[in-house]
Amino acid sequence: MSLELKNVEKKVGIDTHIHLTNLKLEKNTINVLLGSTLAGKTTLMQIMAGLDKPTAGEIWFNGENVTGKEVQKRNCSMVYQQFINYPNFTVFENIASPLKITGIKSDEIKERVGKVAELLKLSAMLNKKPDELSGGQQQRTALARALVKDSDLILLDEPLANLDFKLREELREELPKLFEDRDCIVVYATTEPQDALMIGGNTATLLEGKVIQYGKTLDVYSKPENLTSARVFSDPPMNIADINKNGEIFKIDNNNVEWKSNLKIKDGRYKIGIRPHNITTYKEGNNSVEINGKVLISELSGSESLIHFTNGKLNWVSLSNGIQSKNIGEETKLYMNIDEFLYFDHNNRLVNHG
């Protein structure tokens, strides 16, 4: 089983919502679509489901061209950012709703709903109506509706976005387990890089209707093919600077930060990408280089400290462990972990693969 988008394009009027896309999702995988709002995640999902038709290209499912096939005949289910349940059905009736149309016997419906409800910790509230539940429970009900019918394709469109922090953490931990031994393809859209890392599986980075990179989540994170993909997959935003390489000496433009490395790339000009957690107030790793900065703002969360500072003409973001209290305007010294630098050439392509 696989889902394949072949040369898919979606235009609405003169706007292109999805640029030419080729994507192949394999069976028993969780696939994260990672990108900001309006990156085309929802459109792509609707095309996958058959809720929307591409203006060009084909969708193949299991070796069958399903481009024009209606959503009801595709055996897929979808969970939305909003908690979508039938308002005057009980939780039981809601979960059972996708099964009723298929003509399954009521005994079996009862059994299956019972199982899914237990999995999602809803057993105690089967007789309640959605508006009597908390947001988290409403979303669990919606998830149960998606899981109950053995779909081939399960689409989750930012399912955690409307939940408060604690419920989000809780459900995010459970999610990968829910799909573990299911014979289906899961697609999960999110704006948050952290979601992708926690869910694992595969990730496709998206920007402005284009799929930038698709691969194993950790690969996409640690070896972004290009600068765009790296930027999409970094929160807080990645630090980017122009550098010059001459022999073993690497130097950032417009300031005095320089380091030595035996990285085998041609001399010349590059861009480096440094994730905020690779700039810290303490030394980390074997090779680090100092950078001086003037603190713009520091945000403390308790376990982490986010310090924004300026150096040269650039603004930098650093992320250190623990509480690193800094005053605004303070001159401070930080350390960058050289081994974690990402080098991009003039085409913005990554040059230091592994």
Partner 1 sequence: MNKTLNQKAWLFVIPVFVLVAFNAAIPLMTVVNYSFQETFGSNVFAWEGTRWFKEILHSERFHASLGRQVIFTFIILLIQLPLGIGIALSMPKKGWGVPVCLILMSMPLLIPWNVVGAMWNIFALPEIGFLGNSLNSIGFDYNFTQQSGDAWFTTILMDVWHWTSLVVLLSYAGLNSIQPAYYQAAEIDGASRWDIFRYIELPKMKKVLTLAILLRFMDSFMIYTEPFVLTGGGPGNATNFLSLDLVKMALGQFDLGPAAAMSLIYFLIVLLICWIFYTIMMKDEGRT
Q: Which residues contact 296 (CB under 8 A, 6 or more apart)?
A: 308, 309, 310, 315, 328
Cβ closest to partner 1, residue 158 vs residue 225: 158
Cβ closest to partner 1, residue 153 vs residue 207: 153
Cβ closest to partner 1, residue 86 vs residue 282: 86
> What's the number of CA atoms in the CB half-sphere (13 Å) around residue 126?
17
SS3 category, 288: strand
Q: How far is the CB of 146 from partner 1 (least distance, A)?
A: 9
Q: 47's torsion region: left (phi>0), alpha (psi -120 to 50) or beta?
A: alpha
Q: How far is the CB of 283 from partner 1 (least distance, A)?
A: 49
Q: What is the spatial distance between Cα 131 and Cα 137, in angstroms, rounded to a whole number?
A: 10
Q: Which residues contact 222 (CB under 8 A, 6 or more apart)?
A: none
Cβ closest to partner 1, residue 23 vs residue 71: 71
Q: What is the spatial distance between Cα 188 and Cα 285, in angstroms, rounded to a whole number?
A: 34
Residues that bind partner 1 in the complex, under the rule CB under 8 A: 46, 49, 51, 71-72, 76-78, 80-82, 84, 86-89, 97-98, 101, 129, 131-132
Q: How far is the CB of 161 from partner 1 (least distance, A)?
A: 13
Q: How far is the CB of 312 from partner 1 (least distance, A)?
A: 47
Cβ closest to partner 1, residue 46 vs residue 205: 46
Q: What is the spatial distance between Cα 289 and Cα 48, in angstroms, rounded to a whole number?
A: 47
Cβ closest to partner 1, residue 98 vs residue 224: 98
Q: How far is the CB of 81 from partner 1 (least distance, A)?
A: 8
Q: Which residues contact 34 (CB under 8 A, 6 or more apart)?
A: 190, 191, 192, 193, 195, 196, 203, 204, 205, 206, 232, 233
Q: How far is the CB of 95 from partner 1 (least distance, A)?
A: 12
Q: What is the spatial distance between Cα 304 and Cα 281, in angstroms, rounded to a whole number?
A: 11
Cβ closest to partner 1, residue 149 vs residue 168: 149
Q: What is the spatial distance between Cα 265 and Cα 278, in angstroms, rounded to a whole number?
A: 22
Q: Degrees (nearest 5) of the Cα angle 37, 43, 47?
A: 160
Cβ closest to partner 1, residue 46 vs residue 239: 46
Cβ proximity of 60 and 4 under 8 Å: yes
Strand ranges across the sheet with 202-207: 76-79, 153-157, 185-190, 30-34, 202-207, 210-216
Q: How far is the CB of 351 from partner 1 (least distance, A)?
A: 43
Q: How far is the CB of 261 from partner 1 (least distance, A)?
A: 50
**Which of the 8 DSSP states describes residue 224?**
-
